[in-house]
Amino acid sequence: MRSLEPTLQGKYELLQDLFHNMGSVVVAFSGGVDSTLVLKIGFDVLGPRAKAVTAISPTFPALEIEEVKRLSAAIGVSLQMVETDQLQIEAFVQNDAARCFHCKTDLYRLLSGLRNAEGFHTIVDGTNADDLGEDRPGINAARQWGVRSPLVEADLCKSEIRELAKRLGLANWNKPAAACLSSRITRGLPITKAYLSRVERAEAFLVAQGLRQVRVRLHGDLARIEIEPPEMAKLMEESVRCRLVEEFKKIGFQTITLDLEGYRAGGGNTPSVGS
C-alpha cells in the first residue's frame, strides 16, 4: 500500500495495535464499508484469530447476503452466518425510539455466546467516530455487552475510513451507506414482515433503475422516497415514473411521494404520518 497522509497513517497503525492487543476477535460483520475495514485489518493482524459473524434476519436485506460472502472470501477470513429474528421481540416490534437498542441487544447476546463457546477474546463492531453524533441507541447496547469499536478508538471518521478502505483494495470502499430494513419504517408503526418485504422490494426496484443511494420510508400505505437530489430528474422521466408507480402499487403502496429534501441519514426517525 502506498504511503498514507501522516495523520491517517498514525490512525492505521493504532488500529493494528488495537487488534494486536485484543489477541482474538469476533467481528459483527454487516457488509458495509465500516465493518469490512474492521474485518480486513483484524484479519491482517490476527489471521484465523479474527472471525466474521453475520446475523441473518427479516431486517437484513437479501441483496446483502451474497455481498458479505464475497467480501469475506476476498479478505480470506472465516465467515459464520447465523439466523436470528427480532420480530419475536415485542419491544423491538413496537418501533419506538429504543428499537435499535433492542435489536443490537439481541445481536450482541448471540455474538457473546459464540465468542465464549469458541474462545475468542473480544467482540468488535464497525461504529465510527461520526456515528457518535447521531441518535444511535445501539451504541448503548454495545457498551453494555462489552463490544469494542476500534474505528472510534482510533478516531476514524467516514471519509478517512473510505480512503483507508480504498488504499487497502476493499471492493466496497465507496459503497453507499446502509442500514437495516426496520429503519425505513417510521416510528410508531409496528414492524411486520409484510412491511419489511414491501420496503425491500421497493428499494430493489429503485436500485435496478441505476440509483445509488436510496431509501423508501414507509408510512403505512404511503411511500416516501429519499434519493440524492442530482438523481431526482431520473425518476421524473415519464417511462421511469410510470414503471415506478405501477411497481410500487403492485407491492402494496397506495401513495408514492418523492422527498424533495433528498436522502439523509436518520430520515426514518420521525413519527408516522397522521400521528
Percent of the chain with pLDDT over 90: 88
Cα 197 versus chain centre, distance: 17
Give the Å distances, CA to CA, from 132 to 35, 107, 157: 16, 20, 10
Residue 201: name the closest of 250, 259, 264, 272 by CA.
250
How far is residue 158's CA from residue 128's CA, in Å, rounded to a whole number?
7
Contact 62, 12 (CB under 8 A): no
Amino acid at 100: C
Q: Looking at the domain that runs over 6-167, which CATH code has it been given?
A: 3.40.50.620
Please write the tens of the pLDDT for every residue from 51-63. 999 999 999 998 8
Give the model's pLDDT for residue 217: 97
The ranges of the chain annotated as CATH 3.40.50.620 are 6-167
> Taking the chain (275 residues) in consecutive chunks of 10 residues, what is each chunk's mean pLDDT?
86 97 97 97 98 95 92 96 95 96 95 95 96 82 95 96 96 91 95 97 95 96 97 94 97 97 74 42
Give the model's pLDDT for residue 269: 55
Give the model's pLDDT for residue 177: 85
Please write the tens of the pLDDT for every residue from 234-262. 999 999 999 999 999 999 999 999 999 99
**Prediction pTM value:** 0.92
Grid coordinates representing 73 are: 472470501
Please write the tens of the pLDDT for every residue from 6-24. 999 999 999 999 999 999 9
